[in-house]
Structure 1
Amino acid sequence: MDVVIVILNTLAQVVMIFSLVYFLAMMGAGIHENRKLGSKLGDQSRTRYEDPFIDNPETFDVYVMIPCLNEEAVIGPTVAALRNGARVTTIVIDDASDDSTSEIARREGGENTIVLRRELPDARTGKGEALNDAYRLVRRLVAEREQDTSRVIILVMDADGRLSDGALSHVLPLFEEPKVGGVQLPVRIRNRSKNFLTRFQDFQFWSMSAVTQVGRRKIGTVSLGGNGQFTRMAALEGLNAMPWSSSLTEDLDLAVSLSNDGWELTTTPFASVDQQAVESLRRLIVQRRRWYQGHMMAGKRLPEIWTNPKLSVAKVLELTGYLIVPWIFDLPWSILSHWVLFLSLTTVASSVTVVVGPLTVTVAVLTWYLLTFAPALFTSWVYLRRDPECSPWRALLIGHSFVVMNYLSYICAWGALIRIIQRKNGWDKTKRTVEAPVSGLVDTQV
């Protein structure tokens, strides 16, 4: 029994130390990098998402690829916001939708919008396949227009995505650095005030992911996402013929491939992309389970990273740490956290029974609280700085709820593991919510 206790304590300490060191290192690096770039955490708190082409330098040709499956609820405003971009071509990939996605995209997108219709049985085979299909079209258009692939940028957006005002004025200059192969924008949740779940998703994206991504900018290993993902075409051309994989997280897979090929992946704290959050717990579990499954499966690429002479030691360590998080933290911690909680409670109880005194009990309780909730206090402070409109009490409540919401991660991680074992790789689409009626701006057939 003593051996089991020693093993459990050792494993718990290893997991706690790994997660705490990685978390604090990336958050600290993010805060430092923001200051280095002259950006405050709250600078984007009042950003509008209406005209991404303000002060557009027009230095690159941009192709926007938007995969769609039954997106009539959101596609109109998304393409309408992109229609006035100089040197911008929008490709809406209609993946055999059975609603009005194509018609709305044509009507709202204007003359620079192309609707690429995919038909069954070749359609609905995953986001990666849809993107690759559009990429074939982009390659043909680039060749016909005699454009330089090193000066062509591919932007992948979700059907509900909106770029922040002047986004291209901050993103395109980053590609003037020849080593930059990709840029990922931080994500803001548009319907964050809808309910607790949507606010919690904003908390994750805006106070944790956004800041740590800026931290990863120091190393050049910023992870690409499915919304607000910019890549240099010349970098994509250096990969396989079709750069996006069939993975459930094709964006993460692409980030690993570009890093392995020697490209720098970066971000900016001066631009962002917003999107809808999932509004129900069931849909959130399905979405996050898919993300976990793709993230966990990406672990099979670790040998490529470890044996790649193009990667620095820092990049190898950071990519390794990021890819093993589900395996080293989420799965084991779902069990070990309860063991740590048991030890904490027994320690407090023994303090009460052995040494009678309010000071001793207070110290024991505060020690337990700080060990348990220190990350929550820190992220609450960061979120409050990132969103000054959020009250301190709400920020603290959301931060402390992270301990309870960890169970959502546990459920999704174990559910993903079961699907991996069962070899289930089906794609579960995220359902959108209608936000506003679409107005008929133009009636152009492209």
Structure 2
Amino acid sequence: MNEELVIQTTLKSILKNNYENLVVTVIDDASDDRSLEKISEIQDSRLNVLRRIKPNAQKGKGTALNWAYYQISEQIQEAGIAPEDVLIAIIDADTKLDNNYFEKVNMAFNHDAKLTGLQSKVRVANLLKDASQDLEFSEIINATQMFRTLTNTVAFGGNGQFCKLSTLQALNEDPWTDSLVEDFDLSTRLFLSDIEVKNAQFDDIYIEQTGIINDNEALVKQRVRWAQGNIQSSKYILPTIRSKKLQNKQKFELLMTLLKPWLMGIEYIIVIYTLIMIVNSAILSGITQSLKIVVVLFIVMSIYIIFVNFVWAILYNKGKSQEKTRVWDVVKDTVNLTKFLLILTQIYPQSAIRYFNSKNDWVKTNRQEESVDPHIDEYKK
């Protein structure tokens, strides 16, 4: 909905792929900008548009995806194509792809017959000065997904998810829910189902998408939505514990992810309590030995966090194709990542307030003008 700033560039990028059996379906969720006009300027037989009309439109991303899914399923059935031979891909409207992106995906599924889903690696391609969002996706989140490869719990999330149509149909229910992280919700329900699921993520199968530039309010709004979706996913904690299908290593990883919002809540309480105790003790008793110890521990914890960010910055800069890592770039990325994470400290309190007040509406983040980093292709993917 309302993607006039990015939709044409994205479609051109997708359609540059010469993959033989590619069908591109755009879901227009009653846009009131120039999105449809931008789409109509592209003439390609592989492109079609499914339009939702109010009052049935704008009911959330999951609802729109399910609506399109059932129409596409009917088309596949009428064409006599076996569902196990069809991959359903979910690609956001602000995406750029390699010209052989779909070929790589197809090769991955052909190479491993047990593969049922694939999550693309995500790069944020438009942050020239502050690479924090790209660092977050390409290093921190990617490291999480690589660990999930070991536990066979690779999750859908971000952009560029692929799933076999036969796997989605085997759920025997709407694939997507009204969760604010409908992609993660889908992969979690697949793991908890009786379906044999194997998802994967590969470094050479990646997408580039726009980030949020110089707009902390928009960034926080986006991340509050994601955090609230993570809180919503807490309903899967008990089913995960009770599951007889999941292996222990799968349960461990899934539970760590599902418990994260509550662990973050405990962390917030500890930090706030510590700060209150420091201030209160200083006012009532002055600078005591006990207070000094608490302050030192607090400083050590802060240094540890900065050190971890420094390590991530080193790994990120080593991933660039330049001959050697530039110290200034590492320092700059460490500072920016620390600032970025400090900004995001407010998302879980805000998301918890929204969750407990039953404010579960989809708060869409408006697109910004694209500002693609011209050096993005210099990075190792």
**How would you bin the TM-score normalised by the shorter chain?**
0.7 to 0.9
Q: Does 1:207 find its partner at 2:160? A: no
Q: What do residues 234-253 of structure 1 show as CA deviations (whole Å, max 9, x unaligned)?
A: 11001133201111110010
Q: What do residues 148-194 of structure 1 show as CA deviations (whole Å, max 9, x unaligned)?
A: 1111101101001122342223322332333322110111111111x
Q: Does 1:227 find its partner at 2:162? A: no
Which residue of structure 1 aligns with residue 309 of structure 2? 376
The separation in 2 between residues aligned to 1:143 and 1:314, in whole angstroms, is 38
What SS does structure 2 have at the residue aligned with 1:143?
helix
Q: Does 1:413 find its partner at 2:348? A: yes
Q: Aligned runs of 1:167-246 on 2, under 5 Å?
A: 167-176=101-110, 177-193=112-128, 195-196=129-130, 199-246=131-178
Which residue of structure 2 aligns with residue 93 of structure 1? 27
What SS does structure 1 have at the residue aligned with 2:219?
helix
The separation in 1 between residues aligned to 2:85 and 2:288, in whole angstroms, is 65
Q: Aligned runs of 1:12-411 on 2, under 5 Å?
A: 69-83=1-15, 84-108=18-42, 110-176=44-110, 177-193=112-128, 195-196=129-130, 199-261=131-193, 262-279=196-213, 280-329=215-264, 331-337=265-271, 371-388=304-321, 391-411=326-346
Q: TM-score, normalised by structure 2?
A: 0.84
Offset at 1:392?
2.9
Q: What do residues 290-342 of structure 1 show as CA deviations (whole Å, max 9, x unaligned)?
A: 0000011101111111112221110010011011112102x222332356688
Greater displacement, 252-261 / 171-180 = 171-180
What SS does structure 1 have at the residue aligned with 2:331?
helix
What SS does structure 2 have at the residue aligned with 1:81?
helix
The separation in 1 between residues aligned to 2:370 and 2:233, in whole angstroms, is 34
Greater displacement, 404-413 / 367-376 = 367-376
The amino acid of 1:136's aligned partner reads Y
Q: In 2, are the aligned partners of 1:106 and 1:115 still within 8 Å (CA)?
A: no
Q: What do residues 235-281 of structure 1 show as CA deviations (whole Å, max 9, x unaligned)?
A: 10011332011111100100101212330111111121111101210
Closer, same or farther in 2 for the Cα pair 1:97/1:384, shift >3 Å? same
Q: What do residues 378-422 of structure 1 show as CA deviations (whole Å, max 9, x unaligned)?
A: 212211122355743233333245444333333111111001111
Q: In 2, are the aligned partners of 1:163 and 1:228 still within 8 Å (CA)?
A: no
Closer, same or farther in 2 for the Cα pair 1:365/1:393, shift >3 Å? farther
The separation in 2 between residues aligned to 1:423 and 1:124, in whole angstroms, is 19
Q: In 1, are the aligned partners of 2:310 and 2:330 still within 8 Å (CA)?
A: no
Offset at 1:136?
1.2
The amino acid of 1:282's aligned partner reads E
Q: In 2, are the aligned partners of 1:71 and 1:432 still within 8 Å (CA)?
A: yes
The separation in 1 between residues aligned to 2:299 and 2:342, in whole angstroms, is 24
Closer, same or farther in 2 for the Cα pair 1:372/1:276, shift >3 Å? closer
The separation in 2 between residues aligned to 1:328 and 1:307, in whole angstroms, is 21
Which residue of structure 2 aligns with residue 36 of structure 1? none
Closer, same or farther in 2 for the Cα pair 1:372/1:249, shift >3 Å? closer
The separation in 2 between residues aligned to 1:143 and 1:432, in whole angstroms, is 36
What SS does structure 1 have at the residue aligned with 2:226?
helix
The separation in 2 between residues aligned to 1:98 and 1:364, in whole angstroms, is 54
Closer, same or farther in 2 for the Cα pair 1:385/1:145, shift >3 Å? same
Closer, same or farther in 2 for the Cα pair 1:332/1:368, shift >3 Å? closer
Which residue of structure 2 aligns with residue 17 of structure 1? none
Q: Does 1:424 find its partner at 2:359? A: yes
Closer, same or farther in 2 for the Cα pair 1:140/1:382, shift >3 Å? same
Identical residues among aligned pairs (%) = 29
Offset at 1:203?
1.6
Q: TM-score, normalised by structure 1?
A: 0.73
Closer, same or farther in 2 for the Cα pair 1:258/1:173, shift >3 Å? farther
The amino acid of 1:112's aligned partner reads R
Q: Which runs of 5+ in 1 are unaligned?
A: 1-68, 355-362, 437-446
The amino acid of 1:328's aligned partner reads L
The separation in 2 between residues aligned to 1:401 and 1:103, in whole angstroms, is 38
Closer, same or farther in 2 for the Cα pair 1:142/1:72, shift >3 Å? same
Offset at 1:349?
9.8
The separation in 2 between residues aligned to 1:395 and 1:206, in whole angstroms, is 15
What SS does structure 2 have at the residue aligned with 1:274?
strand
How much is the aligned-residue C-alpha RMSD, in angstroms?
2.7
The amino acid of 1:376's aligned partner reads N
Q: In 1, are the aligned partners of 2:19 and 2:103 still within 8 Å (CA)?
A: no
What SS does structure 1 have at the residue aligned with 2:344?
helix
Q: In 1, are the aligned partners of 2:125 and 2:210 still within 8 Å (CA)?
A: yes
The separation in 1 between residues aligned to 2:36 and 2:306, in whole angstroms, is 48
The separation in 1 between residues aligned to 2:259 and 2:163, in whole angstroms, is 25
Q: What do residues 38-79 of structure 1 show as CA deviations (whole Å, max 9, x unaligned)?
A: xxxxxxxxxxxxxxxxxxxxxxxxxxxxxxx11111111211
Closer, same or farther in 2 for the Cα pair 1:405/1:334, shift >3 Å? farther
The separation in 1 between residues aligned to 2:297 and 2:30, in whole angstroms, is 60
